[in-house]
Structure 1
Amino acid sequence: MRELPVAGRPPAERADAARNRRRILAAAAAVIAERGADGLSMDEVARRAGVGVGTVYRRFGDRARLAYAVVDDRERGFQAAFLHGPPPLGPGASPSERLRAFLHALADRTDAQAELLVMAEADPPDARFRDGSYGLYHLHLAMLVGQVRPAADAAYLADALLAPLAANLILHQRRTRGMPVERIKAGLDTLAEGLLRTPADPD
Structure 2
Amino acid sequence: MRADAARNRAAVLAAADRLFHAATDPDQVSMDDVAAAAGVGKGTLFRGFGDRMGLLRALHAQRVDLLRAALTTEQPDGSPAERALHLLREVVRFKRDSRVLTLALENAGDGSPYRTGSYPQWHALLVSLVTEARGPESADYLAHALLAAVRSDLVEHLRDWPEERWEAGLAALTRAVLNG
TM-score, normalising length: structure 2: 0.80
The Cα shift of 1:151 comes to: 6.6
The Cα shift of 1:114 comes to: 3.1
Gaps of 5+ in 1: 1-12, 199-203
Q: 2:54 & 2:121 partners in 1: Cα distance?
A: 23
Counterpart residue type for residue 172 of structure 1: H
Q: 2:168 & 2:63 partners in 1: Cα distance?
A: 24
Q: Does 1:109 align with 2:94?
A: yes
Aligned pair partner of 1:79 in 54, 58, 68: 68
Aligned pair partner of 1:24 in 12, 29, 35: 12
**In percent, how many aligned pairs have the same letter?**
38
Q: 1:151 & 1:43 partners in 2: Cα distance?
A: 49
The Cα shift of 1:53 comes to: 4.2
The Cα shift of 1:132 comes to: 4.6
Q: 2:143 & 2:96 partners in 1: Cα distance?
A: 20
Find the structure with the greater CA-based Rg. Answer: 1
Task: Answer yes or no: is the 8 Å Cα contact 1:71–1:116 preserved in 2.
Answer: yes
**CA deviations over 1:68-99 (Å, ceiling 9, x no partner):** 322232223333443xx21226xxx3334421
* Segments of 4+ moved more than 4 angstroms: none
CA RMSD for the aligned pairs? Answer: 2.6
2:118 match: secondary structure: helix
Kindly indicate which of the two structures has a greater share of residues assigned to helix.
2
**Mapping of residues 1-203 of structure 1, within 5 Å:** 13-35=1-23, 36-82=25-71, 85-88=72-75, 93-94=77-78, 95-122=80-107, 123-124=109-110, 127-150=112-135, 153-174=138-159, 178-198=160-180
TM-score, normalising length: structure 1: 0.72
Higher RCO (Cα < 8 Å, 6 or more apart): 2
Gaps of 5+ in 2: none
1:88 match: secondary structure: coil
Alignment CA distance shift 1:59-1:37 (3 Å): same
Q: 2:27 & 2:133 partners in 1: Cα distance?
A: 42
Alignment length (residue pairs):
177
